[in-house]
Amino acid sequence: MAINKQIHLVSRPQGEPGTDNFKLVEAELPALRDGQVLVRHHFLSLDPYMRGRMNDAKSYAAPQPLNEVMIGGTVGEVVESRNPGFQAGDKVVGMGGWQQFAVVDANQPGLLRKVDTTHIPASAYLGAVGMPGVTGWYGLTKICEPRAGETVVVSAASGAVGGVVGQLAKARGCRAVGIAGGPDKCRYVVEELGFDACLDYKLHKDTKSLATALKDACPNGIDGYFENVGGMILDAVMLRMNAFGRMAFCGMISGYNGEPIPMQYPQLILQSRLKLQGFIVSEHMNVWPEALKELGTMVATGKLKYRETVAHGIESAPEAFLGLLKGRNFGKQLVKLI
């Protein structure tokens, strides 16, 4: 029997998570039954939403069970199949989790999706042409509803989601302004991703300072805002929002370890007649084909750019994940498993 290395969640973090919340486990791979396929994972996706799943608390999704494989998106190759819909060599995307291999019941719709890696790298199906890309596409097009000439701002602009938002906004004729942490990330957002401006939030100690910088970067105000962070950044953006502005709430990473995130100026929601809408991209599967078509075409033709931070080996996943929560990654955080 082949050995499958896995990372299990073995305890719930109290506040900031640590490597002791995880455990490396070796398990034997079972023989396939009819309808199943064996997938060898090439890349594992690490994403901020995983932090929320580690808590045993009410949320939009069930908590990650203890002493089981940690949840996560994967891209890999079918190495054995007892399902007529798949054959060895097929490249597939799924939710295989933090492990080297996965046995999947391929008769269940949506668990595995074949992908073409001829013009799009396999890893991109976990980033720009995967869940993060579709997340950016949905929040921008369906909630922010950008129109040519408007200004769109996105926090965590150098990340896997934020980078897509700004580039899609530019493709729709908007002014795109990013917020990121550090000069290197801000330089990348402007020079490589093509944003019009990017503000380094680390240079601003309070809301007023960041709001003043936003005023300079967004002389016509802000019409659409894609939120990934919360806290001071949200407050500063709200001070610059135009009347009838639209705000897509995707993430609140500033509070993922349980910190409260008070809003300083809730009256602006009324005064500026703002629309604030949270969303979970997996609840909108009907638009995924449309989103993936645009994103895939843009990546294949070089019109959508992205960056990846790659850790190596399943053993590196916990440290890489903790680094992601602290903003140590640059672009999409992956673990290479082959």
> In this predicted structure, what is the pLDDT of residue 3?
93
Tokens 């809730």 sit on residue: 266
What value does the mean pLDDT take over residues 276-283? Answer: 95
> In this predicted structure, what is the pLDDT of residue 257?
76
> Is the CATH number 3.90.180.10 carried by domain 3-127+307-336?
yes
Question: What confidence tens digit (pLDDT) does each residue in 32-52 have?
Answer: 999 999 999 999 999 999 999
CATH topology of domain 131-282: Rossmann fold (3.40.50)
> In this predicted structure, what is the pLDDT of residue 2?
86
> In this predicted structure, what is the pLDDT of residue 253?
82
Report how far residue 160's alpha carbon sits from residue 120's, in angstroms, rounded to the nearest whole number.
16
The whole-chain average pLDDT of the chain stands at 96
What value does the mean pLDDT take over residues 94-105? Answer: 97
* pLDDT over 90 (residue 57): no
Question: What confidence tens digit (pLDDT) does each residue in 184-198 have?
Answer: 999 999 999 999 999
What value does the mean pLDDT take over residues 206-221? Answer: 98
Report how far residue 84's alpha carbon sits from residue 196's, in angstroms, rounded to the nearest whole number.
49
Q: pTM for the complete prediction?
A: 0.93
Report how far residue 129's alpha carbon sits from residue 157's, in angstroms, rounded to the nearest whole number.
17
**Range with the lowest mean pLDDT among 66-80, 215-229, 249-263?**
249-263
Neighbouring CB atoms inside 10 A of 254's CB total: 16
* pLDDT over 90 (residue 166): yes
What value does the mean pLDDT take over residues 325-338? Answer: 94
Residue 140: partners with Cβ closer than 8 Å, 6 or more residues away: 146, 152, 165, 168, 169, 224, 226, 248
The domain limits of the chain are 3-127+307-336, 131-282
Question: What confidence tens digit (pLDDT) does each residue in 303-327 have?
Answer: 999 999 999 999 999 999 999 999 8
What value does the mean pLDDT take over residues 104-115? Answer: 94
What value does the mean pLDDT take over residues 265-274? Answer: 98
* DSSP SS3 for 70: coil
Question: What confidence tens digit (pLDDT) does each residue in 225-268 have?
Answer: 999 999 999 999 999 999 999 999 999 888 777 788 999 999 99
> In this predicted structure, what is the pLDDT of residue 1?
59
Question: What confidence tens digit (pLDDT) does each residue in 9-33 have?
Answer: 999 999 899 999 999 999 999 999 9
* pLDDT over 90 (residue 59): no
> In this predicted structure, what is the pLDDT of residue 58?
78
Surface-to-core class of residue 62, CB atoms within 10 Å of its CB (0-12 exposed, 13-18 middle, 19+ buried): exposed
